[in-house]
Structure 1
Amino acid sequence: MRQPDIEIYLKDAERDAVAQWLGEALGPCSEWQQKGQTFKCKAGDVPVTWLPKAVGKWHSLYLESDATPWADDLACARAAHAALGVQIRCAPGTWVEDESEEEADRWIKVDADGETEIVWRTE
């Protein structure tokens, strides 16, 4: 089932490299517009939000559309890792407001060693 939006976390990724990758995957990126701590642009028709250091050294990349080549966060994480060569983390499925804290701390790590389910306490 296609997720309504995509959110992944990238370690040590450069915003310009991410914009180049998104430009190739989704269409040309507009200039980044800074709004407080966040940066916004459009890649093709997809609204993009970049939050540097959202969780420690991890940057949040949020694609506010279901019109991407990726059906879910994990598919996007795989593509981001392949293109950028950095570790990516994403939720194992669609986030649900009332899920237990244990479930909320379950993440999938995508890196050179493959995919691993981990516990990541983000608070």
Structure 2
Amino acid sequence: MQPDIEIYVLSCPTDNIVTWLSQKFTLLEQTHPSSLCTKVILELDGNTIPVTILEQASGKRFTSIWFDSSQTPWENDILCAKDAYSSLQCEVRCNYQGWEEEGDQDPDQWWKINNHGEGPFVWN
């Protein structure tokens, strides 16, 4: 199990992201620390899950969705990305290999899901 999950969505309004999260989790709290940042506290099976939604996280068009918890319903970033794509219908990217404390993973190796399909690619 990963200690956290992070995905990036392309040209997807934050309101749509919050709606998706509200369908999967109980939304306990929502704050806006800045014009580009929305923080939500979610609940699932008695676990609270803090999530940060940061617009323009990678260039102007990508929004980061970071689940700061190992208690999400997904085992890894790719499963979360697939779920997000099926609901949001916008391109989703995530780290291909997931998180490892040690390892020789390529930081530019990513997984992309869009209306053309899905698979690994280099994002640099």
Q: What is the TM-score of this pair, normalised by structure 2?
A: 0.85
Q: Offset of 1:78 from its aligned partner?
A: 0.1
Q: Offset of 1:4 from its aligned partner?
A: 1.0
More helix by share: 1
How do residues 1-123 of structure 1 correspond to structure 2 at under 5 angstroms?
Answer: 2-35=1-34, 37-44=36-43, 45-56=48-59, 57-96=61-100, 103-121=106-124
Q: Tell me if structure 2 keeps the 8 A contact 1:19–1:29.
A: no
Distance in 1 (alpha carbons) for counterparts of 2:18 and 2:28: 6
Q: Tell me if structure 1 keeps the 8 A contact 2:112–2:120.
A: yes
Q: Tell me if structure 1 keeps the 8 A contact 2:96–2:111.
A: yes
Q: Offset of 1:93 from its aligned partner?
A: 1.9
Flag the 1:29–1:21 CA change in 2: closer, same or farther, 3 A: farther
Structure 2 unaligned segments of length 5 or more: list them. none
More strand by share: 2
Structure 1 unaligned segments of length 5 or more: list them. none
Distance in 1 (alpha carbons) for counterparts of 2:70 and 2:101: 19
Q: Tell me if structure 1 keeps the 8 A contact 2:16–2:88.
A: yes
Flag the 1:40–1:69 CA change in 2: closer, same or farther, 3 A: same
Q: Percent identity?
A: 32
| Code of the aligned partner of 2:121 | I
Q: Deviations over 1:67-105 (max 9, x none)?
A: 1111110000000000000000000122357766x8100
Q: Tell me if structure 1 keeps the 8 A contact 2:77–2:94.
A: yes
Please tell me the root mean square deviation across aligned C-alpha atoms, in Å: 2.0
Q: Tell me if structure 1 keeps the 8 A contact 2:37–2:54.
A: yes
| Code of the aligned partner of 2:68 | E
Paired residues, number: 119
Distance in 2 (alpha carbons) for counterparts of 1:99 and 1:35: 35
